[in-house]
Amino acid sequence: MTRTAKAFTSSLFGAGLAFALLTSPVAAQDARYWLNNASDCQVFRALNEVVPAACAQPGDTMLKGVRTRSWAGKTRGISPRGIRLLDDPAAAVSAVNQPAPPDQPVVAAVQQANPPTTKSINARVLFDFDSFRLTDDAKAVLDRLAGVLNDDLMKDKTIEIDGHTDAVGPKAYNLSLSQLRARAVRAYLIEKHGIAPERLPFVGKGEAELYDPAHPDAAVNRRVVFTNLSG
């Protein structure tokens, strides 16, 4: 199937096409998880160095005085005070023994032992072919992402939204389509979940950074990448 450029006119984007098409592709394969089937903890670990203690893995370091309320009571295997019993018994005892407000449990935070170099996560095929309309399944995926982005540990983070296409059709058309896809995702997160617009810069990269260059027309290349720019 070949795309045509009829769906778009130059006036539709205007200055929007000024978003730069990067010449040095990011290694998308470096992202540890795919958002579509990642757990909440995996999303957290992909996007931030500091994660709720409920998401701790061996080697992570408990942070004193750093807490998050958003996750309290939402994660399986937690203690009465919202602290998962970690693989390190001493850390678990220390965390559980920290005083908690009587009216609400809290979840302590940990520093990842081996945080990802690039704090990104891919989301595959949020759109039908040649479309920038979010599917119902895509909205469900973004709802889970929003839960992490609105957590206390993430509320000050800037998350770039990068739209990508496969290589079917003209490059200029794909660039425009990818920008519309990134913008659609951004609009949903802002309107449905109240995330501040300034936290969500977006860019369309067209077919410039294929996830699977050996198969440029493959659906896996139609994706959105979320990257924490705040470190």
Using CB atoms within 10 A of its CB, is residue 222 exposed (0-12), middle (13-18) or buried (19+)? buried
Residue 192 has pLDDT above 90, yes or no: yes
Which residues sit opposite 227 in a β-bridge? Answer: 120, 160
What is the per-residue pLDDT across 14-57, written as a single tens digit (0 to 9) for each?
Answer: 333 333 333 334 444 455 689 999 999 999 999 999 999 889 89
- Give residue 32's pLDDT: 66
**Residue 179's pLDDT is what?**
96
The CATH fold assigned to 10-48+117-228 is 60s Ribosomal Protein L30; Chain: A; (3.30.1330)
Q: Which of 226, 210, 212, 138 is nearest to 174 (CA)?
A: 210
d(CA 224, CA 163): 5
Lowest-confidence segment of 16-20, 178-182, 201-205 by average pLDDT:
16-20
Confidence of residue 163 (pLDDT cuts 50, 70, 90): very high
Confidence of residue 126 (pLDDT cuts 50, 70, 90): confident
Average pLDDT along the chain: 76
Q: Are 206 and 23 in contact (CB under 8 A)?
A: no
Q: Is residue 36 helix, strand or coil?
A: helix
Which pair of structure tokens corresponds to residue 97? 């023994």
Per the listing, tokens 């309107």 go with 191
Give the start-to-end residue ranges of the domains of the chain: 10-48+117-228, 50-111
Question: In whole angstroms, what is the distance from residue 22 CA to residue 209 CA?
Answer: 8
How confident is the model over 78-117, as pLDDT tens digits? 333 333 434 444 444 454 444 444 454 556 899 999 999 8
187 or 70: whose pLDDT is higher? 187
Q: What is the pLDDT of residue 128?
A: 78
CA distance 178 to 213: 17
